[in-house]
Amino acid sequence: MLVGGKPGPVIALRADMDALPITERNSLPFASKEKSIFNGQETGVMHACGHDAHVAIMMAVAEILAKIKVSSKAR
């Protein structure tokens, strides 16, 4: 949580990071090899909906907000 120096509204940001019940069928070294149970059957799970991008974007937003917070206190 980033707390600013002045009172005001609270903003919540969210980024999804979960896996889908899809077996990754490729031979890339970073391909998901994880398994889970879905609808009573074992299946592969992978991040297939841009979740990695969602989390990367949120990490960048958090870094920018943290820098803005630091620079605003210096004024």
Domain hosting 55: range is: 16-65
pLDDT tens track, the chain, 75 positions: 777 777 777 778 888 777 789 999 999 998 999 999 999 999 999 877 776 788 889 999 989 988 887 555 544
Tokens of 20: 């889908």
**Counted domains in the chain:** 1
0.85 exceeded by the pTM?
Answer: no
CA dist., res. 3 & res. 48, Å (int) = 34
CA dist., res. 7 & res. 39, Å (int) = 48
First to last CA, the chain: 21
Domain annotation covers residue 47? yes
Domain annotation covers residue 34? yes
Given a contact cutoff of 8 angstroms between Cβ atoms, the answer to whether 13 and 34 are in contact is no
Domain annotation covers residue 32? yes
Domain annotation covers residue 5? no
Q: Supply the pLDDT for residue 47.
A: 79
